[in-house]
Amino acid sequence: AAVGAAAGGATGGLLGALKEAGHGDEDAHVYAEGVRRGGTLVSVRASDADRARIETILDNRRGLDAVTRGGVYRQTGWTEFDPQGEPYSPEQIRAERARYR
C-alpha cells in the first residue's frame, strides 16, 4: 500500500508539473491518467535546432495522441485525473495495454 500511495502522490505532482510545462489542462489530465494506468511519459526540453530530430524519434515510437486517448477514457466514464486515485494493479495495467495493441 505504501508503494501505491507513493506512486499516487508522484502522479498527483505530475499534473501540476505538466501544466507548468505548458500543457493544456485537458492534455495534462490525460497524460497524468495514462501514467496512473501504467503508462510511461517522456518529456523532452531541447533547443529549437534539435526539435525536428527529437520529434521524429518520438513519433516513431507508438506515442499516444491525448485527444484520441482522452476520448477512449471518456467512453468508460472517466472525466479527469484524480490525484487521489489508486495506481492500476499489474492485472489492470495488462488489460489496459491490451486495449491498444
pLDDT for residue 8 is more than 70: no
Q: What value does the mean pLDDT take over residues 64-72?
A: 90
pLDDT at residue number 11: 52
pLDDT cut 70: percent of the chain above it? 88
Q: Please measure the distance between the N-terminal and C-terminal CA atoms of the chain and give it in whole angstroms.
A: 30
pLDDT at residue number 2: 37
CA geometry: angle at 9 spanning 3 and 81, to 5°? Answer: 115
Residue 83's SS3 state is: coil
Whole-prediction pTM: 0.78
Write the Ramachandran bin of 4: left for phi over 0, alpha for psi from -120 to 50, otherwise beta.
alpha
- For the chain, give every domain's residue range: 2-99
